[in-house]
Structure 1
Amino acid sequence: MAVIRAVELGFGTTSFTTGEYKNQNPIITTFSSLVSQVDPTKDGLSAGLNSRDTVQVKIKDSVYEVGADAALVADKKSARVLNNTYISSEQYQALLLGALYYINEPSIDLLVLGLPVENWGKRDELKKIVVGKHEINGRIVEVKDAWVIVQPLGGLLAHANSIGQDGYNELRGLNVLSVDPGYGTFDWIVSHGLKVNDSRSGGEDLGMSAVLDSVSKVMRLSFPMLTDFPIEKLDEAFWKHKDHIRIAGRKYPFPVCEGKDCDGDEVDVSFDLRGAIETVTRAAITKMKNAVGNGGDIDEIILMGGPHKVYKKALQEAYPNHKIKIVKNPLSAVCAGMHFGGIQYYQALNKFKAA
């Protein structure tokens, strides 16, 4: 049986499939796309008390650590690469090799990878990077072939797979707007069924990192003593805590604080982050609407991605007559769709070769 796997390597998170299923859906493993350059001679400071869930990979003369516990070895110099050089960076290659190590297959017949829409021109470069043999911690992993798609298409494929045959038959005749706000970029595609309309699809650097940057400027005014405001705390407030933020050991209501912390104690802190959030989300939707149009010919709008809730309000305001459909498991939908699509692509490729 052919080994087909998917890796969605985004600016914020890295997700991959291992071939295991639950309720006919591939099990997705996700970890932060945080890459830390490490000194192997200082490894093991915990003296064996608890081992980190990470993998160390060597890129040229540098050693990087990636995985679920990568934040434990991160320092202030550790950062995500949030620009068009991403796939050629050592950080990207470290995450890719780390994902291949976790997949734990000596040979992969087809590896499906996703790119932001704005990086679509680098698909051939990415394929050259991944196809071949890779040595990772003494283990050899061979990738025989790769298929690269734009990330929103992965979410659309997952949606198509979840609606049954009748739903899919109907979808094939519809114009669909698929919206994928990620960490680094805000992407969208317009398609007729699964056939993408390139001229109406695109992406902007207005993803969740832009929201966090906008919000952090407001928070620095409320916490002037914190000259280096912890962005990761803001990120956790959006996806982990949702109604509060932890700063310097105290919990504050989020996204609006009116002079009292979560325990009801009065504090000399007030902030309202809604305007800072909407400045970015509305700008992203405006850029998209300029390319897509007013939606009169759009039959369905589907929304995916980890930050989907942050952008939904602005999207609904822009298209008030549409019902916004949230894909199932929006955080992992892109990776799941890439996996399903890879299976179909591999079968079609083999039929074509046989013919």
Structure 2
Amino acid sequence: MAPSNPAKLREVHSEQQDSTPASTPVVRAIDVGFGLVKFSLPAEGGITFSSFPSMAIPADVSAVRSLSTRRRDTFDVPANGAEYEVGRDVGLAQAGGSFGRDVTDEFYKGAIYEALTKGALRYMAEAGDTAIDVLVLGLPVNQYNDSKRRDYLRQTYERAVEIGDGKTIEVRKVIVQAQPMGGYAALEEHLDELNQVIKATGGALQPLASIDEMDELSVLMVDPGEHTLDWLLIQQGSINPRASGAASDAGRHRVIRAVQDSLAADIGRPLGPAVAPRINEALRLKQPVKLTGVAHDLAKYEPQIMSVIEDSLNRMIDGLRDAYEIIDLIVLVGGHPARYRDVLSRRFPSIPVFVMPDSMAANVRGFQMIGEAMTEQA
């Protein structure tokens, strides 16, 4: 991991703080996760946040695609010499073995990542952006640790980017952040909710008089994503690189796979990749999953789910070494943190475990704040 900035990381944590444009800079953020792409957009009087599935399907150029009662909310974007369909309705393009995802550690430089990033930029362009002064991108902690990966993203997207249909958007500066760093930056928006959890825990930590007191604490940021479980230990405003890390194949995808394997064994036939999003949605809504007209209750697979989560968190605790002894506060971000919160609260009953409100968008909201803080300091 690159040396951490001694400045307050909640306000801004970056390797470079130079040459951002001085006049009303346009700041945007994209968090490409293995499950969802989260991004900021221009809106009347400010910005808003949106998302779409992290799926990129080879574009169907046939006339059949146009046979619909409405145009689906997707775009065809160029990536690695081919065209991919991405966007909010991309699930309508999925069929059979066309999984449309990449859950490998080389995700950041593959065609899927490129298509997804360009899809987010296309949504920004459609909302009115023609150029972006500062674009903040995120990487899982284990990938952020590799400077070559950070450099690759800067070199790839710090330019005029083709975003499909002959359109381009100019990106003047790219900042790369470790994904959980965004959640840490966004904490200042939720002091009251955080203090409620601190008070209810009843441990040594007392409610904070102001968010500035956060910079005196040892805060463990935990991000259970779709593929990786990331964690950052932030001590007095600086990242402790020796106690921060990530476990691959330790996120939501592994949970879904465990449920899918168990379900396939119970019904007596293999289940293809197109079933995974249905299982994911059924788990999220706590509803049965419907396959070939039959509703299957997934509650029976709770032991398999908890086994995966316990194992993933054991890997994190092992990666912390003995640093868990000095943790004052645990903060969870990401799309599905509730079960992780329950396990961590049982393991560390005197440490407050705070789930960020709107946890799915916590990182990208923090990225936006980091980018805006950088332009103010320039």
Structure 1-normalised TM-score? 0.87
| CA–CA separation in structure 2 for the residues paired with 1:227 and 1:110 | 43
Matches of 1:144 and 1:227, distance apart in 2: 45
Q: Which residue identity lines up with residue 117 of structure 1 in the other structure?
A: V
SS at match of 1:140: strand
Are 2:219 and 1:181 aligned?
no
In the other structure, the counterpart of 1:103 is: 124
Is 1:253 matched with 2:297? yes
| Cα gap change, 1:294 to 1:243, in 2 (>3 Å) | farther
Aligned residue among 129, 154, 160 for 2:182: 154
Amino acid in the other structure paired with 2:26: V
Mean CA deviation greater in 303-312 or 161-170: 161-170
CA RMSD in angstroms comes to 2.0
Q: 1:81 to 1:197 in 2, by over 3 A?
A: same
1:95-133 CA deviation, whole Å, 9 max, x = no partner?
111110101211100000110001111111111111000
Letter of the aligned partner of 1:281 in structure 2? Answer: I
Deviations 1:194-219, CA, capped at 9 Å, x for gaps = 32111100101101101111121211
Letter in 2 for 1:219: L
Q: 136-145 or 223-232: which moved more?
A: 223-232
Q: Which 10-residue stretch deviates more, 123-132 or 78-87?
A: 78-87
2:183 partner letter = G
Moved >4 Å (runs of 4+): none
Who is 2:162 aligned against? 135
Give the match for residue 109 of structure 2. Answer: 88
Name the structure 2 match of 1:263: none
Q: Which residue in 1 is equivalent to 2:31?
A: 8
Q: Is 1:233 matched up with 2:304? A: no
Quick check: 2:40–2:50 contact (8 Å CA) kept in 1? yes
Q: Which position in structure 1 is the counterpart of 2:246? A: 203
Distance 2:209 2:370 in 1: 18
Question: Which residue pairs with 2:150 in the alignment?
Answer: 123
Tell me how many residue pairs correspond in the alignment: 329
Aligned twin of 1:341: 370
Pair 1:20 & 2:43 matched? yes
- The correspondence for 2:138, drawn from 80, 95, 114, is 114
Other-structure match for 2:87:
67
Task: Note the alpha carbon deviations across 1:49-77, whole angstroms, 9 max, x for none.
Answer: 21010010122431100000111112322
Give the % identical residues: 27
Contact 2:182 2:366 in 1 (8 A): yes
Deviation at 1:280, TM superposition (A): 1.4
Asked whether the 8 Å contact 1:159–1:328 carries over to 2, the reply is no
1:43 deviation in Å? 4.6
Kindly state the Cα deviation for residue 314 of structure 1 after the two structures are TM-superposed: 2.2
Tell me the equivalent position of 1:286. 314
Query: What is the CA-CA distance between 1:221 and the residue it aligns to?
Result: 1.5
Given residue 72 of structure 1, which amino acid in structure 2 is its aligned partner?
L
TM-score, with normalisation over the residues of structure 2? 0.82
Per-residue deviation, 1:316 = 2.1
Partners of 1:218 and 1:44 in 2: CA distance? 36
Q: Which has the higher contact order (CA 8 A, sep 6+)?
A: 2
Name the counterpart of 1:265. Answer: none
2:354 is equivalent to residue 325 of structure 1: yes
Q: Gaps spanning 5+ residues in structure 1: where? A: 257-272, 351-355
Distance in structure 2 (CA, Å) of the matches to 1:248 and 1:175: 50
> Which whole-Å CA distance do the structure 1 matches of 2:63 and 2:217 have between them?
54
Counterpart of 1:57 in 2: which secondary structure? strand
Residue pair 1:281, 1:311 contacting (<8 A) in 2 also: yes
Any idea what SS the aligned residue of 2:360 has? coil
Displacement of 1:227: 4.4
Structure 2: how far apart are the matches of 1:290 and 1:61? 42
Partner residue, 2:340: 311
Report the AA paired with residue 140 of structure 1.
Answer: T
Unaligned runs of 5+ in 2: 1-23, 193-207
Q: Over residues 225-273 of structure 1, what are the superposed CA-to-partner deviations in whole Å (9 max), with x where a residue is unaligned?
A: 454372122101122x2143323333343312xxxxxxxxxxxxxxxx1
Q: Are 2:35 and 2:54, in contact at CA under 8 Å, matched by a contact in 1? A: yes
Q: How far off is 1:166 after superposition?
A: 4.5
Q: Which structure's residues are more often strand, by fraction?
A: 1
